[in-house]
């Protein structure tokens, strides 16, 4: 499978599908492009698809990320230009949604739409009445997780992250052992990402200046703070549509892949440019 050097690192990517608009899936924290495996076939039937591993994840090489969201967005922009795969629809999950929104704000020439599932903009909670206390508690939670990693308890920290973003008891234990190990192994990168202020709050001017169509999805079974974040974000984005996904949580591409594919394709195909 292809590997391309951009900005001093090697980025692994996979193309899927041959018809329809270019579409890129941007994975979140603690995982890599393999997280999309259950939705690839369905999406590739309607769009020309590319998945990739972000810097330091999966089969992409690591490199410095002094400002992770900005670095990852710049990597993605460089990948699109190097492969001549743009303008694209960007589908971002969790932290990957923050990366996608950053690229759309900074390089609108590369992006034709966004589909964002539950970006972890915890800083936006303070923008709603009563949200400041909730935001403070989650900020303290991040501090605690970072402290676990600093003490070497990466598995415990990864378990806390997984259970924070899940409403279902036993979410960590239900993960395969290999996935639990992978999550623990990437906790240092999680700390980098959640210590980045841009991961917790997007640039207001960039959000308001993002004029492309945006689909905001939230799982009906996700923690309520994620839906609150989507609510604040939807009010700030000029061209946003909000969908709540019944039966889904923070990872609809894993828990309800068929429904998620249907929601995404409905949004994406409405915006497709016919292929000659």
In a domain, 97, yes or no: yes
Whether residue 99 contacts residue 73, with contact meaning beta carbons closer than 8 Å, is answered with: yes
pLDDT given at position 93: 98
pLDDT given at position 276: 35
Q: What gap in Å lies between CA 150 and CA 188, rounded to an integer? A: 9
In a domain, 37, yes or no: yes
Q: Give start and end residues of each alpha helix (H) in the chain.
A: 40-44, 68-83, 95-106, 131-150, 154-164, 171-174, 177-185, 187-194, 197-200, 204-208, 224-236, 252-255, 257-269
Q: What are 211-220's pLDDT values in tens digits?
A: 999 999 999 9
Q: Is 203 exposed, middle or buried (0-12, 13-18, 19+ CB in 10 A)?
A: middle
Q: What are 169-206's pLDDT values in tens digits?
A: 788 998 889 889 999 999 999 999 999 988 889 999 99
Q: What gap in Å lies between CA 1 and CA 15, rounded to an integer? A: 9
Report residue 232 CA to chain centroid gap: 17
pLDDT given at position 246: 95
**What residues contact 194, with CB distance under 8 A and at least 6 apart?**
29, 120, 142, 145, 146, 200
- Nearest Cα neighbor of 202 from 177, 181, 180, 230 is 230
Range of the domain at 231: 3-127+198-269
In a domain, 161, yes or no: no
pLDDT of 91 > 60? The answer is yes
Q: What are 253-274's pLDDT values in tens digits?
A: 999 999 999 999 999 988 765 4
The sign of the dihedral angle between the CA atoms of 130, 133, 138, 139 is positive
Whether residue 23 contacts residue 49, with contact meaning beta carbons closer than 8 Å, is answered with: yes
The sign of the dihedral angle between the CA atoms of 204, 117, 126, 129 is positive
Tokens 């960590």 map to which residue? 172
What confidence tier does 95 reach under pLDDT thresholds 50, 70, 90? very high
pLDDT of 118 > 50? The answer is yes
Helical axes 131-150 vs 187-194, angle rounded to 10° = 140
pLDDT given at position 274: 46
Query: Mean pLDDT: which of 18-27, 61-70, 109-118, 228-237 is highest?
Result: 109-118
In a domain, 218, yes or no: yes
What confidence tier does 137 reach under pLDDT thresholds 50, 70, 90? confident
- Nearest Cα neighbor of 184 from 138, 151, 153 is 153
Residue 25 region, left (φ>0) first, then alpha (ψ -120 to 50), else beta? beta
pLDDT of 47 > 50? The answer is yes
What confidence tier does 275 reach under pLDDT thresholds 50, 70, 90? very low
Region 52-79 average pLDDT: 95
Tokens 């670095």 map to which residue? 71
In a domain, 76, yes or no: yes
In a domain, 79, yes or no: yes
Tokens 């004029």 map to which residue? 211
Q: What is the CATH number of the domain that holds 26?
A: 3.40.50.1820
In a domain, 81, yes or no: yes
* Tokens describing residue 11: 């980025």
Region 85-112 average pLDDT: 97
Q: What are 227-250's pLDDT values in tens digits?
A: 889 999 999 999 999 999 999 999
In a domain, 242, yes or no: yes
Region 40-65 average pLDDT: 95
pLDDT of 167 > 80? The answer is no
Q: Is 126 exposed, middle or buried (0-12, 13-18, 19+ CB in 10 A)?
A: middle
**What's the domain count of the chain?**
1
Q: What gap in Å lies between CA 193 and CA 126, rounded to an integer? A: 20
pLDDT given at position 135: 66
């Amino acid at each position: 499978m292809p590997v391309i050097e951009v900005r001093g690192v090697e980025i692994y990517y996979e193309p899927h599908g041959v018809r329809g608009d270019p579409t890129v899936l941007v994975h979140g924290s603690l995982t890599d492009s393999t997280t999309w495996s259950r939705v690839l076939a369905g999406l590739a039937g309607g769009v020309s698809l590319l998945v990739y591993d972000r810097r330091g994840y999966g089969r992409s090489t690591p490199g410095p990320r002094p400002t992770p969201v900005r670095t990852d967005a710049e990597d993605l922009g460089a990948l699109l230009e190097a492969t001549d795969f743009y303008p694209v629809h960007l589908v971002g999950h969790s932290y990957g949604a923050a990366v996608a929104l950053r690229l759309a704000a900074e390089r609108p020439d590369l992006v034709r739409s966004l589909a964002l599932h539950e970006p972890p903009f915890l800083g936006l909670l303070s923008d709603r009445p009563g949200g400041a206390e909730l935001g403070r508690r989650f900020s303290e939670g991040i501090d605690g997780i970072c402290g676990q990693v600093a003490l070497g308890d990466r598995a415990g920290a990864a378990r806390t992250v997984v259970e924070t973003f899940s409403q279902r008891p036993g979410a960590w234990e239900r993960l395969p052992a290999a996935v639990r190990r992978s999550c623990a192994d990437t906790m240092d990168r999680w700390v980098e990402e959640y210590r980045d202020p841009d991961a917790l709050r997007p640039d207001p001017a960039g959000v308001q200046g993002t004029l492309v169509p945006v689909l905001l999805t939230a799982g009906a079974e996700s923690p309520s703070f994620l839906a609150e974040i989507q609510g604040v974000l939807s009010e700030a984005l000029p061209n946003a549509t909000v969908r709540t996904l019944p039966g889904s949580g923070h990872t609809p591409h894993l828990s309800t892949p068929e429904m998620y594919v249907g929601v995404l394709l409905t949004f994406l195909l409405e915006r497709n440019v016919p292929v000659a």
